[in-house]
Structure 1
Amino acid sequence: KSAAKAIEKFHRKQLPREWMVELQPGIKAGQLVRPLARVGVYVPGGLAKYPSSLLMAAIPARVAGVEQVIVCTPPRSDGEVDPVILVAAEVAGVDALFRVGGAQAIAAMAYGTRTVPKVDKIVGPGNVYVVAAKHVVSMDVDIDFAAGPSEILILADSSADSAYVAADLLAQAEHDPAAAAVLVTTSEGLASEVRELIRDMLRDNPRRDIMLKSLGRYGRAVVAGDLDEAIEFVNDYAPEHLQLMIKRPERVLKRVKNAGAIFVGPYAPVAAGDLAVGPSHILPTGGAARRGSGLSVLDFVMLPSVQVLTARGLKRIAGVVEKLAEVEGLPGHARSVRERFKKRGD
């Protein structure tokens, strides 16, 4: 419940506000805030259970004012949903939970079935099949983004504690055989130390097989010539999670352009943000952080504009409207303005 409170507190700060401004005498315009009606949250299962993902998606939706929040999650081998998922659903105020996973769950939420209602938007992470299904249905229902296998990129220099770096890389590698754990550093010595520590930490680890597959496929240690080159690598990679374990990280933070979530300093491991800090851990992966941000309250609201004009206000801009309408070949637009200033009977 403490994690849920932190998530709610953070996302309440993100809530957009309604406003109205007078642009000219007689002309006002503003912004309204309207929540989506129904949202579907996908909560992955299989290799691990993710009650935190449920909280990170459902609570922002509730904060935004979404009327109905449903969840789809794959059941265990015995056909039941893990109790921790059920507890998380209750804490988050979920309206309905369905025991269905994979691409079929995405299809059910996108188009509706006799039991699963059709939603306006689908959010949440998943494997490659879930991500592909979300893209397939995205012409018919809104989705968040491609939240695929987890990624971490750690930018570290010689001041970093090699044990912290090794532990944080393994923390992401344990998610999935397709997870990516990458270190970019200006210190060849640190890279060597981290490599040795990872070997030690893997011994007798209960998720060793998953970690070995992840590190074998997507684990890398990159030694950069200098900090500028390392930062360039960071922005090109556009990681889901970026950790800054360097001297004066606040200076480098200003130069980071592309990252889903940034963790600053030796006491800000990704695990803390994944589970308890407050910002959503549902983040863009696969380079999508170049063009988008993580899940937030803004994903669950619409921001329609509103415009209020008096006769005096419309008259002030009538000439502009008519001229532009003429240029664009839209005489009906011009007439819709002129009609309002004709004397009746003309």
Structure 2
Amino acid sequence: MVTRTSILLGVFVICSYAVTIVKAGILDRRIYNKSFTGGKEDSPINHDLGPPDHLDAVKFERDGDANVEFLQEIFLGEEKHHFKNAKSREEQLEELKVIFEKANLNKDYGIDEHELHLWIMKMVGDHMQQSIEDSRRKYAYIRGNSPAEAIDYATFETAFLDLLRKTNATENYRFTNDYMAARLETVKQEWQKADLSSDGKLNEKEFLLFQHPEMSNLTLLNSVKEFLEERDYDDNGKLDEKEFVFGFPVGDIVINDYMDGDILLRDKIIQFRKYIDADDDGFLDFDELKVYMDPFSSVNARNDAHEMMFYVDGNEDGELSWDEVVDASEFLTGTKLYDASSYFHSEL
């Protein structure tokens, strides 16, 4: 069972590393104005008190699939909303320039891997803080003037359906009865997972877990377990380089032969050896994989910085210049060059 400490795991990690606390952003303002979102900007699930379907700034989505927008989100952060709203290429580059200058902490030629690591930690910290504020405001809205210290499911369901019906009354009945029933069933399942005390009610900390399971150690442990089981073909409880790099049985091959071959495979080998295999024994055990997959781990942020450098640092001088960022802007902002990252994450 997840403990109170487990729920707050990410909070304690981020508080140690975040550079600043994010000011009220787009989601925060919507919640304050009682205009809620259940997902991304372009999600059909809007004005929804349920948990978001899309989890920003984490590698794995609610359903366990890879978040193909992950690198975009940890580079753009809250600024991605401004970027997507930019009307022209020039405006988009202006927004990207703002991000570049913020991430370039020493204001020199470019962003080195250390600066990128710190920037990613800040973006994940911003996501964490925004998620907490998001959850708090929803919780307060649903609770209203009730003196109760927890929300029961009936109270939540009433508020959930009432808000969707109010939306329908003003937005040409965008939500059908079938949709609301199906959405409510999914939300109910997430509610039950977050009800750690099994009393049918969620206190404020459980409600945060309901809205953002990525903050739960249980979610992380399940993801690591599935990742390990899918690749551990010799059933020894750990992954060797071949199992990690290829994800399927490859027979009798020499892994070093791939260091000069496919650049994606080469980079995964480097990640295995340099960043993930902490004890350098040639295997990844459960604890090492947990660090690798923890979205709020500083070690994991370093891996992500390394991956982004791999894609963007064209001249391999160890710094991302403004020109390189412009050249890779479609990758960094989620359009066609991002296909490479989508492939990479699907392989992981």
TM category (shorter chain) comes to: under 0.3
Q: Indicate the structure with greater strand content.
A: 1
Provide the TM-score with structure 1 as the length reference.
0.28
Q: Indicate the structure with greater helix content.
A: 2
Provide the TM-score with structure 2 as the length reference.
0.28
